[in-house]
Amino acid sequence: MKFLIAGLGNIGPEYELTRHNIGFLTLDRLADTHKLTFKTSRLADKAEMRYKGKQIHFIKPNTYMNLSGKAIMYWLNELKIPKENLLVVVDDIALPFGVLRMRAHGSNAGHNGLTNIEEMMGGRDYARLRMGIGNNYSKGQQVDFVLGNFEGEEFKALPAFMDKAAEAILAFCTIGVERAMNLHNTKARQ
């Protein structure tokens, strides 16, 4: 059984450690842990591995965030992977930093990458792993916040957060979206 995991982000060194790139960062962390190498391919940097009998393909679209759907559709078709086996890893300002929320489908919540995927796929019926980056910004400063780098305590906590997300990704591939949601969705700290 084959799976496609798409981590969203923007290409280029100026975006590398930004909050908006948490999808890229998480797939890089997973690749480091499992000794995988991303190679530039058509519309994305791509890596793959076998895990518990599953063939998992990872992509980081190099189309920029707002055109992520183009790369995802290309690789779903190229690899003949059904959309039920697609998981999109994405930042979410509606969730506090450190909170994971996996869903089998849902709205784009105004996220440009998810909006483009929805347009390209003709609907919202695909799984996503939302990674909370918080919303600690003043009115009118959202773009600066999401395109800003992780700092301070968040930067220190980032590796453990990405490791939790990587566990959720592998669970999606091995035990399915519903059980992965039950095991890995986290609540905000009170």
List the catalytic residue out of 20, 57, 111, 184: 20
Using alpha carbons, select from 94, 79, 75, 102 the residue that is nearest to residue 170.
102
Cα R_g (the chain), whole angstroms: 15
> Do 90 and 168 form a contact (C-beta atoms < 8 A)?
no
Which residues neighbour 11 within 8 Å (Cβ) at sequence distance 6 or greater?
Answer: 62, 64
Distant-in-sequence contacts of 119-122, Cβ < 8 A, 24+ apart: 119/69, 120/69, 120/70, 120/72, 120/73, 121/69, 121/72, 121/73, 121/83
Q: For residue 18, what is the DSSP state?
A: B
User: Does the annotation mark 105 as catalytic?
Assistant: no
- What is the per-residue burial (b if ≥16 Cβ within 10 Å, else e) of 83-97? bebbbbbbbbbebbb
d(CA 187, CA 151): 22
Active site residues per annotation: 20
